[in-house]
Structure 1
Amino acid sequence: MKLTVVGGGSTYTPELIDGFARLRDTLPVTELVLVDPAAERLDLVGGLARRIFARQGHPGRIVTTSDLDAAVDGADAVLLQLRVGGQAAREQDETWPLECGCVGQETTGAGGLAKALRTVPVVLDIAERVRRANPRAWIIDFTNPVGIVTRALLQAGHRAVGLCNVAIGFQRKFAALLDVSPSDVHLDHVGLNHLTWETAVRLGGPEGDDVLPGLLAVHGDAIAADLRLPRPVLDRLGVVPSYYLRYYYAHDEVVRELRTKPSRAAEVAAMERQLLEMYGDPALDEKPELLAKRGGAYYSEAAVDLAAALLTGAGSPYQVVNTRNDGTLPFLPDDAVIEVQAAVGPKGPSPLPTAPVDPLYAGLTANVTAYEDLALEAALRGGRDRVFRALLAHPLVGQYAHAEQLTDRLIAHNREHLAWA
């Protein structure tokens, strides 16, 4: 079994390698290819990856290359974890929206749109090369904004599934609070990527008893603290929102906070420099503890589970993925990409039926879906007016004066990545 990781020079990669090594019985990889144009980073990450495999006795071969076509040739699955423009572009995405009084964040709002415009054309080019190399290969997208990128891939006819670690993070957290195995926790997880709510927490499977009310009653303070939302908000909602919902539910508060501290991009860039220095130590043969602060917790377990289900039918029978709606949420178009529990196997994901969605969540979900449709149009066709329309539609922007200013700033900061600008 050959797997390829595009963006293999990422500091995330040792987390993924650790998962492949530990879970080799679930996903028996024989060849793992890390491809990245950044040769120096790739050498450091690749060296650590080989040492992790050796320490854990994994027999698979790890190959590093900058040749994308060679990397995807014959691959059974290709994982995408690239960042067009690197941390420098992320720093901009998190900065210039604040100048207009809007949230600066890399996956949502104006910054998220900028990332989508840079990323979608690059990902579609990669996907076409994957299809030429092996039309049956699965593409697993971990590249943000996952919902928009996955929608672009599916609309172009690729065998693609989007993946995010938010749901598995909640699963592990709830399992710890309930003192049960994570495999016993099934989430009624509904919405879009980075716009989701846990509407039930079931023990034993999709038909299990919902323990969410009791979980909130006993552990509501701890859950609210993790989300940085007031406990009464959770009590009134009766669900657990993704921590990304804070950008919507406390927008002005978040903007004030972001204006008074270094950007997350600056923190991550400093952390990456430290991690790469650590990766260069020939004595290091396991992922360092610092990597847990980089983000992407449980990414490896989620990726292994999904790849195993798609390629061999192994892994968990139910997983939270990003896939076509096709009537699952009747208030959204069929071609919308939603993030829900699905039965996953070699034929791909099949979303599980969902209970009717409260209008409080359905309304915001429909609004952001409309934005994503306009954002994808802007990414595929370009043009200032399309960028403006997408920004005006986004609930974190919404005002025409903000949309005008943000459009100018987005184009100015991303001109080198926009073929039409």
Structure 2
Amino acid sequence: MKLTILGGGGFRVPLVYGALLKDRGEGRVTRVALHDVAADRLSAVARVLAEQAAGDPDAPEVTATTDLDEALRGADFVFSAIRVGGLEGRAEDERVALAEGVLGQETVGAGGIAYGLRTVPVAVDIARRVARLAPDAWVINFTNPAGLVTEAMSRHLGDRVIGICDSPVGLGRRIARVLGADPATAWIDYVGLNHLGWVRGLRVAGRDELPRLLADPALLGSFEEGRLFGPDWIQALGAVPNEYLHYYYYNRETVRAYQEAERTRGAFLRDQQAAFYEETRHPDTAALAAWNRTRAEREATYMAENRDAAGAGEREAEDLSGGYENVALALMRAIARNERATLILNVRNRSTLAELDADAVIEVPCLVDAGGAHPVATAPLPDHAAGLVRSVKAVEREVLAAAESGSRSTAVKAFALHPLVDSVNVARRLVDGYTAVHPGLAYLRG
């Protein structure tokens, strides 16, 4: 079975390959094609993968190419983890937004809109190529903003594109751990959009254990989200928010923390990864050791500004292991082998959430089998959550419309309608600022 990884020179690709190395089941991935626009990054990651596979005669064969069509031909699965504009683009997203006093995070608020506007045209081109060159392939999308990009690709690939994210998985794992439950067998009632969801229940043997957590401030304060949001606020919500909702519920404090930080997250990662890729240029460098060292620092500093603003402290050791690669592997296994699994995924709504139309991509538990991912029916959202979900989905639709039409005024509308952008004039200046620094937004006119 062939897996094509788009963004194959990306820093987290070794996580995916590491998961593949552990899979010994029938029908496993035996060929991995890496694609990237940067040949030097491809070479660096290929070196890391070669060291990972050393001594393993059954390791999946790895090829690398800058030719997208070559990479896609014959693929059974396509894993998309591209970053249009690179980490320099992410740093610019943050800088332009913070200069206007609004959030520049890569998936939330102004930064997420800017990232979406330059990523959607590229993702749509990829979707069209997959439909032409590998029509039977399943696309697993990890490209951010994951829900928005998955919805853009679904217009050309239908249900054969599925979005993944490790954030709900990590949240469910932490809640289960606190409650003494096995995350592998607990049913997590999670619902929302990507980076905008809530855990409303955690069932073990048919019994919802979440009320026990909500009733105990000490338990709530014992894990990352409890410290991030505070027990009182979680109790008021009656649900545990995804960590990214901190940008909404504590927006003023988070923006201030980002403005006061020595470097934004994007600038930190840009500099850190540039050092890694430069180090691996030297043939005597132990590439895997350099990657492990860089990754440990990356994970430990994840959402550091939010934790500082909330006084949440350092991340726990159990939460430094990532997780999206295991979601991707479980998804591929469920489809390829008809090994039924329950996973939280980004899929088309159908009739799952009454608040949204059938084609809206949402993030909910799904039953996965050889026929793909099937969203599980869920109870309606409470008003406060429904309003936020509808509002952000409306913004996503304006981003898609702007990307399709090239309309600058529609792009302004997308920024202006976002709950974290507080002025139409700010929205106009954001579009001006982003088009000035991103060549990928030159298509916005009129």
- Give the alignment's TM-score, normalised by structure 1: 0.93
Within 1, Cα distance between the matches of 2:195 and 2:297? 19
Stretches of structure 1 lacking an aligned partner (at least 5 in a row): none
Structure 2 CA distance for aligned equivalents of residues 227 and 405 of structure 1 = 35
What is the aligned residue count?
Answer: 417
Q: Which amino acid aligns with 2:333?
A: A
Q: Distance in 2 between matches of 1:185 and 1:279?
A: 42
What one-letter code is carried by the residue in structure 1 that aligns with 2:188?
Answer: L
Question: Mapping of 1:9-408 within 5 angstroms?
Answer: 9-25=9-25, 28-158=28-158, 159-204=160-205, 208-216=206-214, 217=216, 218-223=218-223, 228-261=228-261, 262-276=263-277, 283=286, 285=288, 288-295=292-299, 297-314=322-339, 317-408=341-432
Which has the higher mean CA deviation after the structures are superposed, 119-128 or 18-27?
Answer: 18-27
2 CA distance for matches of 1:80 and 1:201?
30
Q: Distance in 1 between matches of 2:419 and 2:81?
A: 27
Q: Identify the range of structure 1 (219-228 vs 119-128) with the bigger mean alpha-carbon deviation.
A: 219-228
CA contact (8 A) 1:224 1:234 kept: no
Distance in 2 (alpha carbons) for counterparts of 1:136 and 1:13: 23
8 Å Cα contact 1:2/1:76 also seen in 2: yes
Indicate the SS of the match to 2:184. helix
**Contact 1:186-1:201 at 8 Å conserved across structures:** yes
Which residue identity does 1:341 align to in structure 2?
A: P
- Residue 149 of structure 1 deviates from its aligned partner by 0.7
Alpha carbons of 1:162 and 1:227: their partners in 2 closer, same or farther (altered >3 Å)? farther
Match of 1:414 in 2: 438
Pair 1:180–1:244, CA change in 2 (3 A): same
TM-superposed CA distance for 1:282, in Å, is 5.7
Q: CA 1:27–1:102 in structure 2 vs 1: closer, same or farther (change >3 Å)?
A: farther
| 1:316-357 deviation digits (Å, cap 9, x = unpaired) | 611111111111100111111100001112222111110121
Partner Cα distance (1:186, 1:275) in 2: 39
Structure 2: how far apart are the matches of 1:277 and 1:82?
20
In structure 2, give the amino acid aligned to 1:244. Y
SS in 2 for 1:33: strand
Using the aligned pairs only, state the percent identity.
37
Q: Secondary structure at the match of 1:130?
A: helix
1:64 deviates by 1.1
Contact 1:147 1:337 in 2 (8 A): yes
Tell me how far apart the structure 1 counterparts of residues 366 and 360 of structure 2 sit (CA, whole Å). Answer: 15
Deviates more, 1:96-105 or 1:50-59: 50-59
CA distance in 2, matches of 1:415, 1:57: 44
The C-alpha deviation readout for 1:271-309, integer Å capped at 9, x for no partner, is: 213443565666455761541443581121011011212
Q: Which amino acid aligns with 1:393?
A: L
Give the deviation of 1:222 after TM superposition: 2.5
Q: Deviations over 1:245-295 (max 9, x none)?
A: 111111111111111001001111232134435656664557615414435
1:94 match: secondary structure: helix
> Do the aligned residues in 1 keep the contact of 2:97 with 2:111 (CA within 8 Å)?
yes
How much does 1:93 deviate? 0.7
Confirm or deny: 8 A CA contact 1:224 1:231 kept in the other structure.
no
User: What is the alpha-carbon distance in structure 2 between the residues aligned to residue 131 and residue 91 of structure 1?
Assistant: 33
Partners of 2:359 and 2:442 in 1: how far apart? 26
Q: Secondary structure at the match of 1:332?
A: coil
Unaligned runs of 5+ in 2: 300-320
Structure 2 counterpart of 1:86, one-letter code: G
Residue type at the aligned position of 2:377: P
* Residues 41-97 of structure 1, C-alpha deviations (whole Å, 9 max, x = no match): 111111211221234553321111111111111000100000011011000111111
* Residue pair 2:20, 2:60 contacting (<8 A) in 1 also: no
C-alpha contact (below 8 Å) 1:27/1:307 kept by paired residues: no
Amino acid at match of 1:301: N
* Distance in 1 of aligned mates of 2:344 and 2:34: 25
Letter in structure 2 aligned against 1:12: R
Contact (CA 8 Å) 1:392, 1:400: kept in 2 or not? yes
User: 1 CA distance for matches of 2:335 and 2:71?
Assistant: 20
Q: What is the CA–CA distance in structure 2 between the aligned matches of 1:416 and 1:152, rounded to whole Å?
A: 17
- Contact 1:168-1:298 at 8 Å conserved across structures: yes
Residues 434, 441 of structure 2: 8 Å contact kept: no
Q: Write the distance in 1 (CA, Å) between the matches of 2:267 and 2:145.
A: 20
Q: Quickly say closer, same or farther: Cα 1:322–1:26, change in 2 above 3 A.
A: farther
Q: Distance in 2 between matches of 1:22 and 1:70?
A: 27
Q: C-alpha separation between the residues in 2 aligned to 1:46 and 1:188? A: 39
The offset of 1:215, in angstroms, is: 2.7
Report the more deviating stretch, 27-36 or 259-268.
Answer: 27-36
> Separation in 1 of the partners of 2:288 and 2:435?
43
Q: Which amino acid aligns with 1:407?
A: V
2:34 match: secondary structure:
strand
CA shift in 2, pair 1:225/1:201, >3 Å: closer
- Classify 1:26/1:170 alpha carbon distance in 2 versus 1 (closer, same or farther; 3 Å): farther
In 1, Cα distance between the equivalents of 2:408 and 2:173?
A: 43
SS at match of 1:75: coil
- Partners of 1:225 and 1:308 lie apart in 2 by 30
TM-aligned CA deviation for residue 172 of structure 1: 2.5
CA distance in 1, matches of 2:292, 2:180: 27
Counterpart residue identity of residue 89, structure 1: G
Secondary structure of 2:368's aligned partner: strand
Structure 2 CA distance for aligned equivalents of residues 371 and 26 of structure 1: 43
Instruction: Measure, in 2, the Cα distance between the counterparts of 1:34 and 1:77.
Output: 12
